[in-house]
Amino acid sequence: MTERILVTGAAGFIGSAYVRALLGPEGPRGDGTGPQVVALDLLTYAGRRDNLDLGDRRLTFVHGDILDTGLVGELVASVDQIVHFAAESHVDRSIDDGGAFVRTNVLGTQTLLDAALRHGVDRFVHISTDEVYGSIPVGSWPETHPLSPNSPYSASKAGSDLLALAYHRTHGLDVRVTRCSNNYGPRQHPEKLIPRFVTTLVDGGNVPLYGTGDNIRDWLHVDDHCAAIERVRNHGRAGRVYNIGGGTELTNKELTGLLLEACGADWNRVEYVTDRKGHDARYSVDWTRARDELGYRPRRDFARGLAEVVDWYRENRAWWERLV
């Protein structure tokens, strides 16, 4: 039987990559027959229709809000599964105004969970982030580590994770939570570090580096993240959290060096700016569970992936020009 999957936030960076993975030749049914995808997205500043192939007859795009109880109920009633990406996703915006983050990330998730329960979906994959754990100077967090988020963004994501897990424990809803490290790839909004630096450098501008540039992030290609989500959706266990990491750990300064080189620029193009408030020093997830239970491991080579992303932004100026 053809699966019907509701993908929220499907017009954003990771959601759209996931829809492409689901419907592409390497998707679950590479013969072009399935699954059927209902893509729900509010098209905020971060979402765009042209991130999706709207001509694909297996895809139905719905422009709407995950907070709209009526619409969400109608859509959830028509699907078997939900993969939930929709969120306010930028830490700096959450520092300026946390309200939209609580509404979308917490209340929006609860609206979807209620609908999932009412209509008895088979499973609900909730996409979260490593940022819910806080900051770790050395070592890596296992999934059992207590949550200690530091920004309004990560606090709202932690709230949504805990709600999702509570719907499993209280109601027995099949909820699976993923917590992934920093993603990079094409079609990421230029408010985020890699596209911001690339688009600024190719335009001849200077890039802002927070604080001393010593903050450490683990960079994972968006395609590796999407492949891991598919493993969780198909083979994960109800009520379980899966960390997804294993990318390339770099300080922001090291990453800046690589981006300067890729764009043919030098350190004169870097301006050190006042650090982000509450800037987490380092994130690192232990992804042993995803490896041992699901056979997950990242496949994309970082140097090659980064070079491809730089090329993508060079070649797709029309996609980002209006956003910078």
Residue pointed to by tokens 């990771």: 14
- Beta-carbon contacts of residue 93 (< 8 Å; ≥ 6 apart): 100, 101, 153, 191
Q: Does residue 108 belong to the site contacting ligand NAD (CB under 6 A)? A: yes
Residue pointed to by tokens 């909820």: 175
To the nearest whole angstrom, how small is the minimum distance from the Cβ of residue 99 to ligand NAD?
12
Q: Does residue 104 belong to the site contacting ligand NAD (CB under 6 A)? A: yes
- Catalytic, 308? Answer no
To the nearest whole angstrom, how small is the minimum distance from the Cβ of residue 33 to ligand NAD?
27
Q: Does residue 155 belong to the site contacting ligand NAD (CB under 6 A)? A: no
Of residues 158 and 263, the one with the C-beta less far from ligand NAD: 158
Whether the CA torsion 151, 154, 155, 156 is positive or negative: it is positive
Total binding residues toward ligand NAD, as defined by CB under 6 A: 30
Q: How far apart are CA 68 and CA 108, in angstroms?
A: 8
Q: Which of residues 38-97 bind ligand NAD (CB under 6 A)?
A: 40-44, 46-47, 65-67, 85-87, 89
To the nearest whole angstrom, how small is the minimum distance from the Cβ of residue 12 to ligand NAD?
2
Q: Does residue 245 belong to the site contacting ligand NAD (CB under 6 A)? A: no
Residue pointed to by tokens 């209006």: 322
Asked if residues 147 and 135 have their Cβ atoms less than 8 Å apart, the reply is no
Is residue 35 reached through a cis peptide bond, with omega within 30 degrees of 0 on the bond before it?
yes
Backbone angles phi, psi at 154, to 5 degrees: -70, -30
- Binding residue (CB under 6 A) for ligand NAD from 180, 193, 229, 241: 180
Q: Does residue 183 belong to the site contacting ligand NAD (CB under 6 A)? A: yes
- Catalytic, 130? Answer yes
Q: Which of residues 5-34 bind ligand NAD (CB under 6 A)?
A: 8-9, 11-15
To the nearest whole angstrom, how small is the minimum distance from the Cβ of residue 133 to ligand NAD?
12
- Catalytic, 131? Answer yes
Q: Does residue 148 belong to the site contacting ligand NAD (CB under 6 A)? A: no
Q: How far apart are CA 288 and CA 255, in angstroms?
A: 25
Q: Which residues are catalytic?
A: 130-131, 153
Q: Which residues bind ligand NAD (CB under 6 A)?
A: 8-9, 11-15, 40-44, 46-47, 65-67, 85-87, 89, 104, 108, 127, 129, 157, 180, 182-183, 189
